[in-house]
Structure formats: structure tokens, C-alpha cells
Amino acid sequence: MDDTDGVQLLLRIRDHQDSAAFADLFLHYAPRVKAFLMKSGADHAVAEECTQDVMATLWHKAHMFDPGRASVATWIFTIARNRRIDALRKARRPEPEDLLWGPEDEPDPAEALELQQESARLGQAIALLPEKQRDLIERAYFGDLSHSEIAAQTGLPLGTIKSRLRLALERLRQQMT
């Protein structure tokens, strides 16, 4: 799904409670959210249940989506991550104070477009990383593996893991500038 298409769908949900737009977003993201949760250690049933929660939260919190601050994928990732912490780790998720923005400071469309394009470039940059580095980043974000568990699984010492993750992010940064 093109990033700007996703934004249009989400804005239709936000502004018009458009259930057809919701169905389109659901078709693309629900199977990915389920995959993300299963990679994080949830079984089929729990992942399916949590996916419904995540997608329902997307509907209810659509008014909080700001295309100048996050892509649709990033925003859904944060909802799925928080649901995972809640459901799988039974912990609370402290969130930073929201930056205040009211109707008077609707995000600048040019700024929003730029952020969406940047997010698309980030996706491409990750796709271009050497497989080992990409694998490490993905495991870190699936979150069920700590650094030491990743070390145990790959047979790599902890220092190497940390420096590879740093290297991967450094390369990501270079690709982004």
C-alpha cells in the first residue's frame, strides 16, 4: 500500500467514519499486525484477538492520527506494540506527554507529504540492508528476544550484536540523508 493512500484512508475514517476506507486498511494491515504479534510470541488465537483490538483502536483513535508526525504503518506499529506489552507482558506502557496540537495547528500538507515520503525511503533503506543486519533489526522490534536471547539464538556474542545493531542503524541514517 502506498503511504499516501494509507493516509487518505485513515483521514476518511477520522473525518467521515468511513467503513469502506476502514475495510481497505484492514485488508492490508490486519494480516501484518497478526504476523507481527505472532513473531513476537503470540499464538494464532491470541494474535487474532489482539489484531481485532489493534484495528478497533485505530478506528477509535483516528482523531489522534497526525500525518505530519507518523506514517500509517508507524502509527499502527505503536498501537500494536502497546497492545503486545499489555497482553503478552501484562505491563503498563508509560507514554510521553502528547505535544499539544489543536484544530488551529492542523499539520502543514507539505510537511505531511515530506514525512510520508521519508517513511517510504526508510522502508526502501531497510530492504537494501544486508540480510543479517535487517534480520537483527526485525528481531529487536518483534521484541520477544532480548539482546542476550538474540545472542543465544545466533551464536553471536553480546558485544557483536550491539555493535551490529548500531551499525545497522548508522547505515540506515546514512541512507536517509
Partner 1 sequence: MKATKHHISDEMLIAYSAGTLPEAFALVVAAHVSMCDGCRTTLSAFDAVGGAVLERCSAVKVSDGCLAATLARIARGDAPRRPECCKDAVLPKPVVDYVGGGLDAVRWRPISGGARQAVLCADKAATARLVYLPAGSAVPDHSHRGIELTLVLKGAFRDETGHFAPGDVETSAEELTHRPVAEPGAPCICLTATEAPLRYRSLLVRILQPFLHI
CB neighbours (10 Å) of residue 15?
Answer: 11
Of the residues 9, 12, 21, 34, which one makes contact with partner 1 according to CB under 8 A: 34
- Per-residue binding letters, 158-177, with partner 1 (x by CB under 8 A): ----x--xx--x--x-----
Of the residues 8, 20, 56, 152, which one makes contact with partner 1 according to CB under 8 A: 56
Q: If binding is defined by CB under 8 A, does position 42 make contact with partner 1?
A: no
Which of these, 161, 133, 137, lies nearest to 149 by C-alpha position?
161
Q: If binding is defined by CB under 8 A, does position 60 make contact with partner 1?
A: yes
Q: Which of 27, 106 has the CB closer to partner 1? A: 27
Q: What is the signed CA dihedral for 152, 157, 163, 165, rounded to 10 degrees?
A: -10
Radius of gyration of the chain (CA): 17
Of the residues 7, 9, 21, 84, which one makes contact with partner 1 according to CB under 8 A: 84
User: How many of the chain's residues bind partner 1 (CB under 8 A)?
Assistant: 66
Which of these, 113, 111, 28, 21, lies nearest to 73 by C-alpha position?
28
